[in-house]
Amino acid sequence: MSESPQSDQPAADTRSDHQSGDGAGAGAGGAVDPQTGEDLSWKSTPVAIVLLDHPAPGHRDVTELLAEIFEGSYDVDPGTDEDPATAVSVEDVTVVVTPLDLPVADGEASRYTENLAIWNGGQGVVDSHRSQVVVAAFRLGPVGDDGEPAEPEYLDPRLDTLRCELAVATVTAALTALPGAIAVSIGGAATTLPAGPYRDLVAGNPLPVPALVGVRAGMQSETTSCVYTTGLGRFGRLDLERLDVPGPPGALYGQMCDLVAYTLGSGTIFQPGQALEVGGPQPLLTSLEASPFTGQQVLRLTPG
């Protein structure tokens, strides 16, 4: 993985900050079905935000950049003075790009840098952003839905969400080439990443896990590490965590990224009570628990 936490970048020494649901994981939760208790955040619109330390670009700048980068691979429909949103067609997903000449409200983007080792102490730059470019995906209808009575080809809605999130990531990565781009904030994952590493993650991985899901790992005590995720609810899955694992967090972080890539890429949904083979001396058993970091229901992984 191109993002790897360092042992001197603790992710878990501020547990009490997250127990109320504030802090790094709060923004990853979504609406809950009142009857079943299901997390419905997978139904939310996939959104990422490019943060810039410059004034917001004009719609012509956005259109020219995207047309140059995609070079006909995707159709780019330019914005206008009346409607500055630029639309990019990624297969049957329409990705809408809207520049806004104001910062993200309430310090949300800065909060989502918490405990992410990829910043290596440089997250203060996020506070300097003065404008944003919002990237959102919309699916206009199922494949084959042309108004005729034949049955259209509906995708599993969670798979469809992944496709839309990947389309947003593709367009967002291109937009990090805008002058003054410093970071990308993914509210649904409660994560803000530096612009350059975000672009590298998306360009170098079919499933760029840290650009889709928050993965935080660090020292939990002098001899143990922990790792947890935020934002898997957007893909119809419970977030994952491991606690009190002997040793430094680097390998733990990589293992969690691999598990997330597996569940998203294969369509497998982990269930409480399941044993997961992870290549170690013993499987990991899953149990439904309340996370000490986010306060939300998660699957905790413990050695079997």
Domain chopping of the chain, boundaries = 15-144+154-303
Residue-level pLDDT at 277: 87
Residue-level pLDDT at 141: 54
Consecutive 10-residue averages of pLDDT for the chain (304 residues) = 36 34 40 68 88 97 97 94 95 94 96 95 96 90 51 65 95 98 97 98 96 96 96 94 94 95 94 88 93 94 91
pTM of the model: 0.85
Residue-level pLDDT at 37: 65
- Taking residue 281's Cβ as centre, other Cβ atoms within 10 Å add up to 6
Residue-level pLDDT at 39: 67
Interhelix angle 195-204/157-175, rounded to 10 degrees, is 130
Q: By the 8 A CB rule, do 257 and 1 touch?
A: yes
Instruction: Show the DSSP H helices in 92-246 as ranges.
Output: 108-111, 157-175, 195-204, 209-212
SS3 104: coil
Burial of 279 (0-12, 13-18, 19+ CB in 10 A): exposed
Residue-level pLDDT at 36: 65
Residue-level pLDDT at 140: 60
- Sheet (strand 93-100) strand order: 75-77, 86-90, 93-100, 131-139, 47-52, 181-186, 191-194
Length of the chain in terms of residues written: 304
